[in-house]
Structure 1
Amino acid sequence: MSDVQIENKNDLKFDYSRWTHISFGARDLFSQWHTAAFGAYTIFFYESVIGLSGGYAIAAFLIFAIWNAINDPLMGYLMEKFIMPWEKKWGFRRFPWIIIGSVAFIFSYLIIFLVPSGWFGTEALVEANKWKLFAWYVISLLIYDTTFTIFDINAQSLFPEKFPKAYERRVVTGWGTFLGILGLVMAFVLTGLIVDQNFPETYRTGALFTFGFAFLFLILFLPGVFENKKMRERYKRREGVKGQADEPFFKVAKDILTDRTMSMKILFYFGYQAAVALINASALYIVTYILDDPENESFIFIMGGMLAGALISTPLWVIISQRVNNNKKMCIIAGFLMFATFIPMIFINGLIPWVICIFLFGISLGGQWFINPPTMGDVLDSVAVKTGKREQSLYYGFQTFVIRFGEAFKAFVIAIAHLATGFIEGNPTLEDMTNSVENIDLVLFGIRIHTAIVPALLVLVCTLLFWKYYDLTPNKVEANRLKLDEMGI
Structure 2
Amino acid sequence: MAKTNNRWLYSTGMLASMITVATFSGFINFYYIDILKLSPILIGQAMLIYGIYNAINDPLLGQISDRYRSKHGTRVPFIKYGMIPFVIAFALLWLPQTTWFGGNQTALFAYFVVSILLFDGLYTLVFLNWTALYPELYRTEKERNEVSAIRQIFGIVGNIIGFATPPILAALMGWRAMGILFAVISLLALYLSIKYVKEEPIYEAKEGLPFGVALKETLRNKAFLIYVIAAFFLQFTFVFMQAVLPFYVKYVLKVGSLEQSLVLGTVFISALLFVFGWSKVSNKKGAKWTMLTCIVLFALSLIPYWFADSFLSGLIVAVLNGVGLAGLMILIDVMLADVIDVDQLKTGQRREGMYFGMNALIIRLGISIQGPLLGYILTKSGYVADAIEQSATAILGLKVALVVIPIIALILSFIVFSFYPLDKKAVVKIKEQLKKDVAS
- Identify whether the pair has TM-score above 0.5, normalized to the shorter chain: yes
Q: What SS is found at the alignment partner of 1:470?
A: coil
Q: Displacement, 1:278?
A: 1.5
Q: Is the 8 A contact 1:91 1:232 kept in 2?
A: no
Q: Is the 8 A contact 1:94 1:158 kept in 2?
A: yes
Partner of 1:10: none
Structure 2: distance between partners of 1:291 and 1:430: 13
Structure 1: distance between partners of 2:323 and 2:192: 26
Partner of 2:52: 66
Q: Displacement, 1:207?
A: 1.0
Aligned counterparts, 1:235-314, within 5 A = 235-239=203-207, 245-248=209-212, 252-293=214-255, 295-314=256-275
Q: Is the 8 A contact 1:257 1:263 kept in 2?
A: yes
Partner of 1:115: 96
Q: What SS is found at the alignment partner of 1:164?
A: coil
Q: What SS is found at the alignment partner of 1:115?
A: coil
Q: What SS is found at the alignment partner of 1:234?
A: coil
Q: Is the 8 A contact 1:58 1:411 kept in 2?
A: yes
Find out whether 1:135 has 2:110 as its counterpart.
Answer: yes
Residue type of the partner of 2:177? T
Find out whether 1:42 has 2:28 as its counterpart.
Answer: yes
Q: Is the 8 A contact 1:288 1:428 kept in 2?
A: no
Find out whether 1:394 has 2:354 as its counterpart.
Answer: yes
Q: Show CA shifts across 1:75-112 (max 9, x none).
A: 1122223x34xx1xx25111111122322221111111
Q: 1:214 aligns with which of 182, 186, 197?
A: 186
Partner of 1:5: none
TM-score (norm 1): 0.85
Structure 2: distance between partners of 1:300 and 1:143: 28
Partner of 1:3: none
Q: Displacement, 1:247?
A: 4.8
Q: Is the 8 A contact 1:26 1:221 kept in 2?
A: yes
Percent of residue pairs bearing the same amino acid type: 23
Structure 2: gaps (5+ residues)? none
Q: 1:486 aligns with which of 401, 420, 436?
A: 436
Structure 2: distance between partners of 1:407 and 1:314: 25
Q: Is the 8 A contact 1:91 1:233 kept in 2?
A: no
- When residues 78 and 216 of structure 1 are mapped into structure 2, their CA distance, relative to the original with a 3 A threshold, is closer
Q: Show CA shifts across 1:126-158 (max 9, x none).
A: 2xx211111100000100110011111111111
Structure 2: distance between partners of 1:308 and 1:55: 34
Structure 2: distance between partners of 1:289 and 1:172: 39
Find out whether 1:162 has 2:137 as its counterpart.
Answer: yes
Find out whether 1:354 has 2:303 as its counterpart.
Answer: no
Structure 2: distance between partners of 1:50 and 1:352: 30
Partner of 2:277: 316
Q: 1:382 aligns with which of 305, 326, 342?
A: 342
Partner of 1:403: 363
Partner of 1:185: 160
Residue type of the partner of 2:335? T
Q: What SS is found at the alignment partner of 1:274?
A: helix
- When residues 257 and 353 of structure 1 are mapped into structure 2, their CA distance, relative to the original with a 3 A threshold, is farther
Partner of 1:465: 416
Structure 2: distance between partners of 1:91 and 1:130: 46
- When residues 356 and 252 of structure 1 are mapped into structure 2, their CA distance, relative to the original with a 3 A threshold, is same
Q: Show CA shifts across 1:39-88 (max 9, x none).
A: 1211111111111112211111110111011110111122223x34xx1x
Q: Is the 8 A contact 1:171 1:318 kept in 2?
A: yes
Q: Is the 8 A contact 1:113 1:203 kept in 2?
A: yes
Q: What SS is found at the alignment partner of 1:237?
A: coil
Q: Displacement, 1:287?
A: 2.1
Partner of 1:430: 388
Task: Output the aligned Cα RMSD.
Answer: 2.0
Residue type of the partner of 1:364? G
Structure 1: distance between partners of 2:271 and 2:360: 23
Q: Show CA shifts across 1:187-227 (max 9, x none).
A: 2333332114xx9x811122122122222222332236x12
Q: Is the 8 A contact 2:36 2:98 kept in 1?
A: no
